[in-house]
């Protein structure tokens, strides 16, 4: 176990003062359940033992997800002062996505360090995207608890950001390929036969090297006139502002659709009965 941990610590560039944190981060729930069923005494162990060595990595995964989001958000915020909230959100979402974190996990050989139950050893579980990304987040949670934010920041800069962040920034500047919310909004409106989206620049601000565009998106009616405003967005280019407006519009439409569906499936109140307060 010490040799395995040393190999992973080298990839993380951090020597754990509390190696039990890293062990737990690598422990899949299948192994934790197997150990609990075989050794009831561990399941009934004292609080200190439970906190340090036993159990699976899901709590650390929760923590690591939050820390990862914070560190990536801070890095993007400092690296790109010209980006608006929508642009920061789009790039962060891709960097912390399950797909990308699984790629990071593979790059450091995390799969070979996973601690699985005997039943899962030959199932291919250690190579699945979801398991790899979840374990990577758990390891970041352990890294944060053991060393604070600095080792997490160093790891994120090297493995999570790096060339990927630079490539995403280039795609964002070109207005192409990165989270095509305009297409998604158009498809959503077409599916509901609501009309087609129309974009209009409402204002421009800032110096030439740091322009800010405010764009609104409306629904074009069958008569050809722009109708109800769906949302507004901002960006460093017209294309980016349109994408931001489309993203906000899509989120609002989907939220309204979800509320309508929930209302339709709600149990109607009996005759004479007052509906329950929400």
Which domains does the chain show, CATH number per domain? 2-174 (1.10.1520.10), 181-265 (3.30.160.20)
Mean pLDDT, residues 201-226 taken together = 81
Query: Which of 140-149, 180-189, 260-269 shows the highest mean pLDDT?
Result: 140-149
Residues in CB range of 6: below 8 A, 6 or more apart: none
pLDDT in tens, 183-201: 888 888 888 888 889 999 9
Q: Which residues are catalytic?
A: 65, 137
pLDDT at 168: 84
pLDDT at 203: 92
Residue 42: pLDDT band with limits 50, 70, 90: very low
> Is 32 a residue whose pLDDT tops 90?
no
pLDDT at 275: 43
pLDDT in tens, 103-121: 999 999 998 888 876 766 6
Mean pLDDT, residues 62-75 taken together = 97
Helix H, strand E, coil C: the string for the chain is CHHHHHHHHHHHCCCCCCHHHHHHHCECHHHHHHHHHHCHHHHCCCHHHHHHCCCCCHHHHHHHHHHHHHHHHHHHHHHCCCCCHHHHHHHHHHHCCHHHHHHHHHHCCHHHHCECCHHHCCCCHHHCHHHHHHHHHHHHHHHHHHHCHHHHHHHHHHHHHHHHHHHHHHHHHHCCCCCCHHHHHHHHHHHCCCCEEEEEEEEEECCHHHCEEEEEEEEECCCCCEEEEEEEEEECCHHHHHHHHHHHHHHHHHHHHHHHHHHHHCCCCCCCCCCCCC
- Return the higher-pLDDT residue of 218 and 193: 218
Predicted TM-score (pTM) above 0.75: no
For the beta sheet containing 226-235, the strands, ordered from the edge strand earlier in sequence to the opposite edge, are 196-205, 212-220, 226-235
Q: What percentage of the chain has pLDDT greater than the value 70?
A: 78
pLDDT at 90: 81
pLDDT in tens, 230-251: 999 988 888 888 888 998 898 8
């Amino acid at each position: 176990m010490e040799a395995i941990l040393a190999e992973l610590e080298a990839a993380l560039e951090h020597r754990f003062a509390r190696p039990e944190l890293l062990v737990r981060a690598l422990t899949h729930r299948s192994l934790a359940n197997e150990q609990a069923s075989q050794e009831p005494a561990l399941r009934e162990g004292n609080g200190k033992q439970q906190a340090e060595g036993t159990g699976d990595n899901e709590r650390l995964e929760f923590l690591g997800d939050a820390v990862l989001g914070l560190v990536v958000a801070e890095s993007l915020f400092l690296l790109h002062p010209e980006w608006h909230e929508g642009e920061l959100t789009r790039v962060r979402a891709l960097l912390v996505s399950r797909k990308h974190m699984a790629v990071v996990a593979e790059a450091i050989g995390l799969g070979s360090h996973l601690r699985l139950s005997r039943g899962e050893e030959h199932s291919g579980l250690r190579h699945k995207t979801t398991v790899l990304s979840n374990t990577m987040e758990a390891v970041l949670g352990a890294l944060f608890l053991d060393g604070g934010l600095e080792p997490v920041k160093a790891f994120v800069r090297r493995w999570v950001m790096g060339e990927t962040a630079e490539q995403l920034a280039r795609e964002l500047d070109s207005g192409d390929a990165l989270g095509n919310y305009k297409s998604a909004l158009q498809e959503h409106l077409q599916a509901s036969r609501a009309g087609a989206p129309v974009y209009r620049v409402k204002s421009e601000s800032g110096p030439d090297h740091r322009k800010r565009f405010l764009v609104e998106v409306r629904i074009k009616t069958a008569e050809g006139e722009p109708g109800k405003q769906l949302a507004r967005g901002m960006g460093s280019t017209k294309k980016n502002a349109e994408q931001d407006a489309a993203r906000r519009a899509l989120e609002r439409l989907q939220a309204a659709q979800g509320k309508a569906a929930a209302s339709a499936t709600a149990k109607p109140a009996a005759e004479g009965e007052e509906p329950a307060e929400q």
